[in-house]
Amino acid sequence: MKTFVIIFLTLFTSYNFFSQELDPKSLIKKGNKEYKNQNYEAALESYSAVLHQGLVSSELYYNLGNTYYRMGKIGYSVLNYEKALKLAPGDEDIKHNLSVANAHTIDKIEVLPKLFLIEWWDSLVMLFTVNGWAYTFIIIFTSFLIIIGLYYYHRNSNYQKPLFFFGSFNLVVLIFVAFLFIVRINDESSIEYGILLESSANVKVSPDYDSNDAFIIHEGIKFKIEDKVENWTRIKLKDGKVGWLDNNSFKSI
């Protein structure tokens, strides 16, 4: 009986210990400690363990980006900063660190100029994530319902006139936000970007290893994914150049 109790307590203690070790908060705390102590490999292991549990957040990708940057892996650093920015597009710390990482990339590509209105529209659509626009829509829709309720509650025209005005304005804003929400969903589902992780790669004219080289790109460069054929992906750079890239050389954001 005593032996059974000892075995049970040993197993219970071991289970409790490993459960704490695998707890995401504990892993992140451990990763932060290792990062501060400049043990970047250990920090990466802890952060990656959280990622492997299927838990993602802008903070986790931000920490991974910082860790890879300290390890000199610019491609992976840019990739994780981009993933963090995708979840938190308004975060200034992520934007700053991403710009620092991009400054270490070799390729300096001039972006094709856009019309002011197009650039303004793109910035407006990217102001919030899909969830952010959804929450905004819910808040405005709720306020619209409240205004309608107050309009029918008050019989006095002195109250109904301003309520009608605010309700009409609210409806216009609601429709506009709904449109932005739909556009953001469409961009999220249809437009895909990738980051090159190898030190350099030859972009081909066609999806064939024997085809001619279109141009060369280097680690950390961001590109738009336009098409896929077996082990090849058709990419487009910000300056308009297009070509085919081996799937093993990059990862999608």
Pick the CATH number of 2-102 from 3.50.30.50, 3.40.50.300, 3.40.50.12780, 1.25.40.10: 1.25.40.10
Q: What is the pLDDT of residue 191?
A: 83
User: Would you say 97 and 66 are in contact if contact means Cβ atoms under 8 Å apart?
Assistant: yes
Q: What is the CA radius of gyration of the chain?
A: 25
Q: What is the pLDDT of residue 116?
A: 80
pTM comes to 0.72
Residue burial 70-103, b: 16+ Cβ < 10 Å; e: rest: eeebbbbbbbbbbbbbbbbbebeebeebbeebbe
- Report percent pLDDT > 90 for the chain: 64
What is the per-residue pLDDT across 103-137, written as a single tens digit (0 to 9) for each? Answer: 999 988 877 677 788 888 888 988 888 888 999 99
Average pLDDT, the chain: 88
For strand 242-246 and strand 213-218, is the pairing parallel, antiparallel, or unpaired? unpaired
Average pLDDT over residues 71-96: 94
What is the per-residue pLDDT across 162-220, written as a single tens digit (0 to 9) for each? Answer: 889 999 999 999 999 999 999 988 877 778 999 999 999 999 999 999 999 999 999 99
| Domain edges within the chain | 2-102, 116-190, 193-252
Domain 193-252 has CATH 3.40.50.300: no
Is the pLDDT confidence value at 11 over 80? Answer: no
